[in-house]
Structure 1
């Protein structure tokens, strides 16, 4: 069964040349930009936004620009569920995902192993095609992986529900061997603050411009993610209510990293240092909120490397 590129033509161009040229431009500009932190090793995971590409594509490119396709044979894509309630995670029933740039095959073996745990549900085709959080990354994945010279690659789409901290830790232990494998790349799909009355989220400090208050709010959460502080990130979300739509996939990534560290040697644990580092490499907003009737969505991209 094939999942169609259901958001092509609305959320991004369905014309393959137009889309390809746009992605090339953004990836080139990101690669040539010298202002952000640089990866110190192969990128093992990225966090990037999933809004319409005309809004978030430039930011997402900073996450993907440093990925080495020859180091990757499996791409796990973790996206939040916007339209159906889940208290767990779900796997695609499709074997192929369509993009305007070409099709990508799903890693049936990995899906079967995850399914065998008994902890993953199924996405039916309608749910799969309605959800945009995974699809918006597929053009970037196809474009970057098209440079791969040493064999094929496959994808593992995972829809992440509203997980409790205990379930985040449980799924993190299940996914840990896959993130630990040197040929895996994890893509974590998330926008950051959705501010405005249409999002039912309008906190601000009257002494600070609204857009600056939003950025300060986002960067507090980003700092906790960079510090791999999943407990602190959970408390931050509870305290601020920040509308980070991919908060559960982000927390799941942090729990997966923590599970890997628990499997590492006592030397690493004794040093109190994680095997991983996360760096945010780009932050942007869809527009500057100046008055209470304005609205915006924030976008942030991060790269994760093994130390």
Structure 2
């Protein structure tokens, strides 16, 4: 049996155990013991989180808000879903059958081989090669935080279930959401959804700009009440421009970074509706470069499938956003930025 190496250590985050541990402690402590409008942390019942996966110098502090919210009190398994950045996948992929552990600078995480084997037996999943797994950062960037939070919760040894989600359509997101619904809905399973938000700039071929900022339901910090699905209508979004060296913001227009924020908050509001269809329509309308849109879609579809069979109140299965940041504040079309957002969901 083999170990998946921490291939992004010493580049995307510190490979030194003491340094990494100190950084994680610093970011978690900065969140405090209570998050505005969310209450004391961890948030009771918040088994599911969305968190960013960029280099820790960029996204580590934002991710801390999701991880500080995370309720691991019942966790016996950790499900982690992340996008594929380097390899095209038409479905979802599981780790190689020979993988037993995932290395982190803090210590190893054990693969839940029984659950992975059960999922593989459905015939619906592809299998990553070790090279593909080790090249991808979207799953690895969460492993040190997962290890740290399990350690703080006194639950070290809890196994993980990493799943790489490909560039799938809405129907396939729903198919895998339903397939994973038993896992997502299990009280002893905690879930991490890995994503960054808008990748803005010519190097990302995405320069969306709102000359007139739209009004957006305020999901940051946690909005009360949550957005009504009927109030989030991507079809009514205002016109936007694609900026370039020849098309620049009007002199009296908002700064580019404010437009990016509005665009991302529209997406966050769409996720907070709990409606997979609303989120899909948002993406169709805006084309926002949310790299983890498919993992988000799979989990949203899974939650909807679960709630159809229950009498849960309207706040169950709805994501509440606790942090939003940019890597930089874009003011010129030659600039670029990536957005980072953190959320939790009680289910």
Q: TM-score, normalised by structure 2?
A: 0.84
Residue aligned with 2:191, SS: strand
**Aligned counterpart in structure 2 of residue 49 of structure 1, from 38, 49, 52:** 52
State the Cα deviation string for residues 142-182 of structure 1 (Å, max 9, x = none): 00001233673000000000111111111111111111111
Q: What is the CA distance between 1:277 and its match in structure 2?
A: 2.5
Of residues 229-238 and 51-60 in structure 1, the stretch that sits farther from structure 2 once superposed is: 229-238
Pair 1:305–1:121, CA change in 2 (3 A) = same
The answer (yes or no) to whether the contact 2:165–2:294 under 8 Å persists in 1 is yes
State the Cα deviation string for residues 4-29 of structure 1 (Å, max 9, x = none): 00000000000000000000111111
Aligned equivalent of 1:24 = 25
The answer (yes or no) to whether the contact 1:36–1:282 under 8 Å persists in 2 is no
**Aligned counterpart in structure 1 of residue 316 of structure 2, from 275, 284, 290:** 275
Residue aligned with 1:263, SS: coil
**Aligned counterpart in structure 1 of residue 75 of structure 2, from 72, 75, 89:** 72
The answer (yes or no) to whether the contact 1:31–1:62 under 8 Å persists in 2 is no
Q: Work out the CA distance in 1 between the residues paired with 2:106 and 2:257.
A: 36
1:9 aligns with 2:10: yes
For the aligned residue pairs, the C-alpha RMSD in angstroms reads: 1.5
Following TM superposition, the consecutive aligned residue runs of length 4 or more in structure 1 with deviations greater than 6 angstroms are: none
Unpaired stretches in structure 1, ≥5 consecutive residues? none
Pair 1:163–1:274, CA change in 2 (3 A) = farther
Q: What is the CA distance between 1:67 and its match in structure 2?
A: 2.2
Residue aligned with 1:220, SS: helix
Aligned equivalent of 1:213 = 259
Pair 1:150–1:77, CA change in 2 (3 A) = closer
**Aligned counterpart in structure 1 of residue 131 of structure 2, from 114, 123, 126:** 126
| Higher helix content, 1 or 2 | 1
Q: What is the CA distance between 1:203 and its match in structure 2?
A: 1.7
Q: Work out the CA distance in 1 between the residues paired with 2:61 and 2:140.
A: 17
Pair 1:199–1:183, CA change in 2 (3 A) = same
Q: What is the CA distance between 1:232 and its match in structure 2?
A: 1.3
Residue aligned with 1:299, SS: strand
Q: TM-score, normalised by structure 1?
A: 0.94
Q: Give the alignment of 1:222-301 within 5 angstroms.
A: 222-264=268-310, 267-268=311-312, 273=314, 275-301=316-342
Residue aligned with 2:322, SS: strand
The answer (yes or no) to whether the contact 1:6–1:129 under 8 Å persists in 2 is yes
Q: Work out the CA distance in 2 between the residues paired with 1:174 and 1:51.
A: 28
- Give aligned pairs, total: 301
